[in-house]
Amino acid sequence: MADEKTKDLISQEINAQGQSAEESEYSLNDDRRVRTLSPTALVVKRFLRNRVAVTGLVILAFMFVFSFIGGFVSPYREDQLFYRYDSQNKQYAALTENTELRYLTESDSDFPSVARAKFVLAQKQGKEGTFESGGTNYSFKEEGDGLIAIYAESDPSNPVALATYDTVSSSTSNEKLPFGFQHAILVAATNDQPSFTYEGKTYTIDDGGTVMDGDVEVAYASRYVAQAIMPDVFLTRSFKEQLLEAVESGDKDFVFTDEDGTTAEYTLSYDASKSTWSVLQSTSTRVFDTYSSPSAEHWLGTDRNGMDMLTRLMYGGRVSLYIGFIVVFIETAIGVVLGGISGYCGGWVDNLIMRAVDVFYCIPSMPIIIILGATMDAMRVDPQVRMLYLMLLLGFLGWAGIARLVRGQILSLREQEFMTAAEATGIRASRRIFRHLIPNVIPQLIVTMTMSLGSTIITEATLSFLGLGVKFPFASWGNIINDVNDTYVLTNYWFIWIPAGVCLLATVLAFNLVGDGLRDAFDPKMKR
């Protein structure tokens, strides 16, 4: 019996020790007994339970990484230009047939335009005659078929001008031949003379008008005038002959190989109003690599300026997000200060600030922005300074809604007991507003700011699309989409506008989803 009593006592003692240990483990003084969450942790927990809001947060995280880190990773710069070589037809020369008299002079002052007009009147009266112009008497006579020489009374042996259908060109350069030499060539060519003498030297001339100095060709006469567009380009005789053959045979193009062995293709087009053939040369030209299709080098192709589209998207997202955040912070700062003062002070201060809010609600923001944008275009404001003005303007015009929200919240908070206690302790008014009232409005401000970010980005994109926002060379999603104002680009180059539109849509949608999630997390009653 004693042993049984002893066992019972030992068992009771063990149970008592176990109960004591359990009481010690779960005592009221032990923090492990009751687990609680802080208000911030509760908001985070509620937000993370909202899968739609978390999806928006993931999209925003991707956009931030894409915009801010992608620009550093990209091998290209935002304004880097790319080029390619294209075959283009450029105006190279012009060929004209002389159907009217042309005037050759030593200098234009020797036979001015007034004298030419009087010569035309006198020439209609006969092939030879005289006329007077500017106090000078002139005489003219026909020296060959289609060649009329005009002499001044002071020097009847040397003509001051020649009226002819033919022109004389050098066979070796673009330099103008001496007037006397041209006169001698034209007299010989129009009278079918086999040779002529000039300055004691004898030259031969064939039926085609080619002038030879022994075995060397020095000049030629022709009714066709071929002139290069660029003054430093010399058209050789062989080129002109091949060009004339193509014109006479009615060909639309021809191929010519010059003395250096370079072969080029030429296209002919005739302008009946001017009786002129335009000669277009097909050349390989270095041009901007515009609207290049996606490739291994450019994953999203290139834009109209020959810039890499993927890099422009990255930098464009950075600019759009910069503008969105700065504008929201500006309007929030102004709205919190004015709304806090209005709600706490009341009276005439509240009335004055609220009337200012009403005025800002009535301001037509878009026309003002359009006018200022046009003004900055006219003043050619630097694109970087223009962005700063845009952010300040949008922030200054958007604070009224936040001021009204803060005022409404403070009106309900200032009558509560903690504010009575703060006033009783002698805390100054500014400290009561910004240390006790404003922090209680922060949850509503966070939601409003998040929702405003999306609308601000849309506003910036709209202004940039209209050419009133971010200017070249800076990129934003809005001015990237500006390329689709051309129907051809819209229908043929999808890689120009679809990626920017998707980024813009995803970012704005993500901000709205996060804003809705924060609103539900701060106030669970909103779900009911």
- CA 169 to chain centroid, in Å, comes to 47
Q: Six-digit token pair at 468?
A: 């009133």
Average pLDDT over residues 315-333: 90
Res 11: pLDDT? 61
Instruction: Report whether pLDDT(20) > 70.
Output: no
Instruction: Report whether pLDDT(419) > 80.
Output: no
Res 33: pLDDT? 47
Instruction: Report whether pLDDT(518) > 90.
Output: no
Indicate whether 129 belongs to any domain.
Answer: yes
The verdict on 212 and 176 lying in the same domain is yes
Res 133: pLDDT? 85
Res 34: pLDDT? 46
Res 4: pLDDT? 58
Indicate whether 226 belongs to any domain.
Answer: yes
Between 275-279, 378-382, 417-421, 513-517, the lowest mean confidence (pLDDT) is in 417-421
CB count within 10 Å of CB 237 equals: 17
Res 28: pLDDT? 46
Tell me the pLDDT tens digit for each residue of 110-162: 788 888 888 888 877 765 688 888 888 888 888 888 888 888 888 888 888 88
Last residue of a domain, one of 224, 258, 287: 287
The verdict on 246 and 207 lying in the same domain is yes
Reported confidence tier of residue 528, pLDDT bands at 50, 70, 90: very low
The verdict on 99 and 76 lying in the same domain is no
Average pLDDT over residues 425-435: 73
The verdict on 158 and 252 lying in the same domain is yes
Last residue of a domain, one of 287, 309, 335: 287
CB count within 10 Å of CB 252 equals: 10
Instruction: Report whether pLDDT(368) > 70.
Output: yes
Contact (Cβ atoms closer than 8 angstroms) between residue 148 and residue 190: no
Average pLDDT over residues 89-95: 84
Indicate whether 18 belongs to any domain.
Answer: no
Instruction: Report whether pLDDT(12) > 90.
Output: no
Instruction: Report whether pLDDT(447) > 70.
Output: yes
413, exposed or middle or buried, with CB in 10 Å at 0-12, 13-18, 19+?
middle
Average pLDDT over residues 430-442: 74
Last residue of a domain, one of 236, 264, 287: 287
The verdict on 120 and 240 lying in the same domain is yes
Reported confidence tier of residue 6, pLDDT bands at 50, 70, 90: low
The verdict on 151 and 282 lying in the same domain is yes
Kindly report the CATH number assigned to the domain that includes residue 301. Answer: 1.10.3720.10
Res 55: pLDDT? 93
- Return the closest-CA partner of residue 159 out of 177, 142, 176, 135: 142
Q: Six-digit token pair at 404?
A: 């009204």
Average pLDDT over residues 249-268: 84
Instruction: Report whether pLDDT(79) > 90.
Output: no
The verdict on 318 and 246 lying in the same domain is no
Domain tally, the chain: 2
Q: Identify which has the larger pLDDT, 163 or 421.
A: 163
The verdict on 403 and 370 lying in the same domain is yes
Between 135-139, 313-317, 480-484, the lowest mean confidence (pLDDT) is in 480-484
Instruction: Report whether pLDDT(252) > 60.
Output: yes
Average pLDDT over residues 203-218: 85
Reported confidence tier of residue 525, pLDDT bands at 50, 70, 90: low
Instruction: Report whether pLDDT(192) > 80.
Output: yes
- Return the closest-CA partner of residue 171 out of 161, 180, 163, 181: 181
Instruction: Report whether pLDDT(444) > 50.
Output: yes
Between 119-128, 209-218, 243-252, 277-286, the lowest mean confidence (pLDDT) is in 119-128
To 10 degrees, what angle do helices 39-49 and 494-522 make? 130
Cα separation of 516 and 494, whole Å?
A: 32
Residues written for the chain: 528
Measure Cα distances from 292 to 34, 201, 310, 464, 494 in Å.
65, 63, 12, 23, 11
Indicate whether 11 belongs to any domain.
Answer: no
Instruction: Report whether pLDDT(385) > 80.
Output: yes
- CA 330 to chain centroid, in Å, comes to 28
Instruction: Report whether pLDDT(522) > 80.
Output: no
Cα separation of 72 and 69, whole Å?
A: 5
Amino acid, res. 31 = D
Reported confidence tier of residue 92, pLDDT bands at 50, 70, 90: confident
Percent above pLDDT 90 for the chain: 9
Contact (Cβ atoms closer than 8 angstroms) between residue 196 and residue 187: yes
Q: What is the DSSP letter of 191?
A: T
Res 503: pLDDT? 92
Average pLDDT over residues 498-515: 90
The verdict on 217 and 340 lying in the same domain is no
Indicate whether 88 belongs to any domain.
Answer: no
Residue 393 domain boundaries = 48-82+297-527
The verdict on 274 and 356 lying in the same domain is no
DSSP H helical segments within 256-362, as ranges? 309-345, 347-362
Instruction: Report whether pLDDT(223) > 90.
Output: no
Average pLDDT over residues 166-175: 82
- CA 167 to chain centroid, in Å, comes to 49
- Return the closest-CA partner of residue 242 out of 288, 274, 273, 277: 277
Q: How many helices (H) and strands (E) does the chain have?
A: 18, 15
Cα separation of 377 and 372, whole Å?
A: 9
Indicate whether 41 belongs to any domain.
Answer: no
Instruction: Report whether pLDDT(300) > 70.
Output: yes
Judged by DSSP in three states, 357 sits in: helix
Q: Tell me whether the omega of the peptide bond preceding residue 473 falls within 30 degrees of 0, making it cis.
A: yes
Query: Residue 466: how many CA atoms within 13 Å on its side-chain side?
Result: 14
Average pLDDT over residues 423-427: 71
Average pLDDT over residues 363-378: 84
Q: What is the DSSP letter of 452?
A: H
Instruction: Report whether pLDDT(195) > 80.
Output: yes
Q: What value does the mean pLDDT of the chain take?
A: 82
Contact (Cβ atoms closer than 8 angstroms) between residue 491 and residue 33: no
The verdict on 365 and 270 lying in the same domain is no
The verdict on 124 and 213 lying in the same domain is yes
Average pLDDT over residues 422-434: 72
Sheet (strand 83-97) strand order: 224-228, 83-97, 276-288, 263-271, 253-257
- Return the closest-CA partner of residue 461 out of 397, 402, 505: 505
